[in-house]
Structure 1
């Protein structure tokens, strides 16, 4: 089996050196592209840096400069020292530095979010131009959310526990946020929903939580976007009132009670109607006999008196 001849040491060294330089170039280029990210908030003024600066020995008349967004939408363009194009959405909101070619945008809007590109051509007469710069820069626009608002509504309450529906809401921010919470410093997961008209519109976020509260607890709601965090806490108090539900009597109990009441009323009615007659018939006759007997006893005996008088004579 034949063996291939080994490469000379000098040639191998050059190959490794070239490969190392290529890797360093790629890393440095990637690092530079990674650094070309500009962050701003709605309403602020921000400058997007260009990849080329006109030397002091030259002027803008020797260049063509194109600032474009998403590689298709021309924000503004200069040729031979004068502006030749500007997008209507950026009218009265943009200007370009004539030396370092920085694009200034003010006031910032959510729709300005996205990738931009600065393309610079050096004019060489007659009718010749060379592209000296063509690099992207990303604009990341944010909008602050309102301070979270927490509300609690009691759904059911008993002596042992209280069921509550807790809601947390925030609005007007960008981009889409994360919502988190804690119950007495223990993490909880919100049932979250987001509302936005489009991918480049402010977001409204609402979180919902169902809790079974047995004692006073503290609930915290946090809304986070782009490393910014806004939080609100609320003390949930268990109501002191205790409602014991009353159990209505059964049908059989109601029926039996009704029958007893009806019988009782009938008994009272019959007693009121027949008892006085019986009492009078039982007590009134003996009394009349006694009175008559008394009257009879009170009368003087006529026969005895006559006999006495006769005997006396």
Structure 2
């Protein structure tokens, strides 16, 4: 045991040197310590880079290349310069949608679909007829697929209105996007909390989103709705108008006012009635009178004259 101690540092040094050479070889072959990420939208054409590029002095005949998704589905495979069909079952959905560059081994997918979202792996083997094959590189790349949402549609419905404020429900909706979005709103640059719901057939299907919020609007205010998904945004604004057509409620008169008004009306009616009866009986003496009264007055007026004549006659 004592005689082996001097050799222990040498063994550890060789182990660390071997590890360092492995790391250096990994970097020289294009091995990445961080996972590569590629983003694309539905309907576009996207290229997934491989971890190796065939030198111009060589050809694809000296390599085997495998592109697979989630380590289960083989997207494409090449051996000795030709695509491999034997003993490999390719998913039908990749048919006529994928091709590989024979020089830099990039996998091209067109048109991109939602189901293409996920992790891919490029495996490159180098071999010669006189030697066994060995793996040059084995690297993963993540494809993030997005689909644009429609411009948000914002509507407002007033369900209660007064002179001071308007109670309304504001709705915002957008559809046909991916991945699951975040919906946000702002009223006078102040954020509002949505009552939101999402509709999608699965985690790898297009989403529809609808948000609803109840607001108390006291003046004309600008409201905005924003849909956020994987770094992209769609926004729409709507001017919420407070209507000025309000009806002021009429206040019924008090009991005292009603009583006083009734007394005034009654007194006025009595005064008019008495006046109508009083004035015809106290007109001036030369005013017209009924016929009977005139005859009586004539008789009364003629009596003194008759007496006067009779007296004069008797004296004669």
When normalised by structure 1's length, the TM-score is: 0.69
- Which deviates the most, 126-135 or 173-182? 126-135
Aligned to 1:201: 205
Aligned to 2:47: 47
Deviations 1:218-264 (A, max 9, x none): 1111111111122111110101x4444879x9xxxxxxxxxxxxxxx
Q: Hey, what's the Cα distance between the residues in 1 that align with 2:61 and 2:17?
A: 40
Query: Would you say the 8 A contact 2:181–2:229 is kept in 1?
Result: yes
What secondary structure sits across from 1:89 in the alignment?
Answer: helix
Aligned to 1:37: 37
Q: Hey, what's the Cα distance between the residues in 2 that align with 1:21 and 1:128?
A: 22
Aligned to 2:159: 155
Aligned to 1:129: 133
The answer to whether residue 69 in structure 2 is matched with residue 65 in structure 1 is no
- Which deviates the most, 155-164 or 124-133? 124-133
Aligned to 2:261: none
Structural RMSD (CA): 4.8
Aligned-pair distance for 1:43?
A: 1.2
Deviations 1:37-90 (A, max 9, x none): 111111111111111222333222222221111111111111223342643111
Aligned to 1:140: 144
Q: Hey, what's the Cα distance between the residues in 2 that align with 1:122 and 1:115?
A: 23
Aligned to 2:187: 183
Residues 50, 220 of structure 1: CA spacing in aligned structure 2 closer, same or farther, 3 A cutoff?
same
Query: Would you say the 8 A contact 2:198–2:210 is kept in 1?
Result: yes
Residue segments in structure 1 that go unaligned for 5+ positions in a row: 250-313
What secondary structure sits across from 2:32 in the alignment?
Answer: helix
Aligned to 1:302: none
Query: Would you say the 8 A contact 1:93–1:106 is kept in 2?
Result: yes
Residues 12, 145 of structure 1: CA spacing in aligned structure 2 closer, same or farther, 3 A cutoff?
farther
Aligned to 1:171: 175
Residue segments in structure 2 that go unaligned for 5+ positions in a row: 253-316
Q: Hey, what's the Cα distance between the residues in 2 that align with 1:220 and 1:16?
A: 65
Equivalent pairs, count: 293
What secondary structure sits across from 1:170 in the alignment?
Answer: strand
Aligned-pair distance for 1:25?
A: 4.8
Q: Hey, what's the Cα distance between the residues in 1 that align with 2:16 and 2:132?
A: 35
Match of 2:122 among 106, 118, 122: 118
The answer to whether residue 220 in structure 2 is matched with residue 216 in structure 1 is yes
Aligned-pair distance for 1:127?
A: 8.7
Q: Hey, what's the Cα distance between the residues in 1 that align with 2:14 and 2:212?
A: 60
